[in-house]
A and B are shown apart, each in its own frame.
Chain A
Amino acid sequence: MAHHEPQVIVLPPDKEKIKKLWRVALILLLVTMVEFIIAFTLPHGPSKTFLFVILTIVKAGYIVGEFMHLRYEVKVLFWAVLVPMIFIVWMLVAFVYEGTKIVTY
């Protein structure tokens, strides 16, 4: 049988969508730069760690929501992915708290 190249209709680029993706990338880079500045200007301590956690969650939100498109999926999928993350938060709080009670020296 001869090779039949399938008839493919190529659509033009969605300029608006591509612009939005680059904007998300810019936000991610800016937040990373802010994290960098904080790392060398603020003194070490719980408030600095808290600030880092907030900025990290902002970045994670943009990656999962926009790049992985989760924000635009149906609500069942959205919550099916997000709700189990509660276990991670609990694990983090419990383990780090326990860690401060273990004396290695």
Chain B
Amino acid sequence: MAHSTAAVSHGKSVWDGGTSPMGVSYGKLMMWFFLMSDAFTFSGLLITYGLVRSSNPAFVGPVKDFFFSTTHWPIPEKVYDAIPFVHGVELPLVFVGFMTFVLIMSSVTMVLAVEAGHRMDRQSVEKWMLWTIVGGLTFLSCQAWEWTHFIIGSGDGTPMAEVLNGQWVQHMVQGANLHENQYGPPAFADFFFFITGFHGFHVFSGVLFNWLIYYNTATGVYDRRGHYEMVEKVGLYWHFVDLVWVFVFTFFYLV
């Protein structure tokens, strides 16, 4: 790090103090440790999903014969098969694939902003930070649509069986909430809301941080400070958000 203000002196021993054994500044190191704790939080959510899913029966038979029921776990590609403005066409996982593309691209623009920061290139940092913010907002908009579609539901709904006063009764369920949903066991929608919601909230706060960095860059704060290390720290956070989505995409939408 050419422009780091962190004092890295070369004393006799790391125990003499005044050195950075890990070769990064305090702020960056703390960001790494925060991200580790966040990784454990997301792992807890995703692994619990795995636990509950593997404790529910899977659908047996060819995929084309699949139907929604509380008696087996839904196949994700049968749930997420719609895209905006197109009705009645089954496009499994296409929209979520687009969301993945958007998030990966915004990760690239972020790392380009970090690269520009190393070179003290204020204009390039501004440009790439703005593109990163646009990517984040696009992702959030897509998620808003996906949630709306998931909550409202599609088709005529699904007849779902539940125990009422000791009797199995059937009633039509349309859409999804925390109590019941038309796609499968209640836990399925609960995990959808919690996992993608928790990730979406990370994206949202990431966009706010990115905006702050953009504002500080545009007003010359980092030029006066003499380094752009804040771009790196927030960059770590933003890449982590992308990293979590990679896992959510695999374990929630593909498997």
Residues of A whose CB lies within 8 Å of any CB of B are: 5-6, 8-14, 17-18, 21-22, 24-25, 28-29, 32, 35-36, 39-40, 44, 48-49, 52-53, 55-56, 59-60, 63-64, 66-68, 73-74, 76-77, 80-81, 84-85, 87-88, 91-92, 95-96, 98-105
**When the two chains form their complex, are residues B254 and A95 in contact, meaning their CB atoms are under 8 A apart?**
no
**When the two chains form their complex, are residues B32 and A81 in contact, meaning their CB atoms are under 8 A apart?**
yes
**When the two chains form their complex, are residues B22 and A32 in contact, meaning their CB atoms are under 8 A apart?**
no
Q: Taking the complex as formed, is B165 at the interface, i.e. its CB lies under 8 A from any CB of chain A?
A: no
In the complex, chain A residues whose CB is within 8 Å of the CB of B67: none
Q: Which stretch in B105-113, B151-159, B189-197 binds the other chain?
A: B105-113
**When the two chains form their complex, are residues A39 and B77 in contact, meaning their CB atoms are under 8 A apart?**
yes
**When the two chains form their complex, are residues B54 and A99 in contact, meaning their CB atoms are under 8 A apart?**
yes
In the complex, chain B residues whose CB is within 8 Å of the CB of A88: 39-40, 43, 47
A35 vs B254: C-alpha distance when bound (angstroms): 8
Q: Taking the complex as formed, is B243 at the interface, i.e. its CB lies under 8 A from any CB of chain A?
A: yes
**When the two chains form their complex, are residues B47 and A59 in contact, meaning their CB atoms are under 8 A apart?**
no
Give the dominant DSSP class at A's interface.
helix
* Chain B interface category by residue count: 35 or more
Given contacts A40-B92, A67-B111, A92-B50, 4 further A-B contacts (CB under 8 A): A36-B93, A55-B250, A56-B250, A76-B23
In the complex, chain B residues whose CB is within 8 Å of the CB of A73: 22-24
In the complex, chain A residues whose CB is within 8 Å of the CB of B52: 99
Q: How far is the CB of A30 from chain B (nearest CB, A)?
A: 11
**Complex partner residue of A13 from B121, B185, B223, B235, CB under 8 angstroms:** B121
In the complex, chain B residues whose CB is within 8 Å of the CB of A67: 107-108, 110-111, 239, 242
* CB contact list, B121-153 vs A, under 8 A: 121-122, 124
Q: Taking the complex as formed, is B57 at the interface, i.e. its CB lies under 8 A from any CB of chain A?
A: yes
**When the two chains form their complex, are residues B104 and A64 in contact, meaning their CB atoms are under 8 A apart?**
no
**When the two chains form their complex, are residues B236 and A11 in contact, meaning their CB atoms are under 8 A apart?**
no
A63 vs B238: C-alpha distance when bound (angstroms): 11
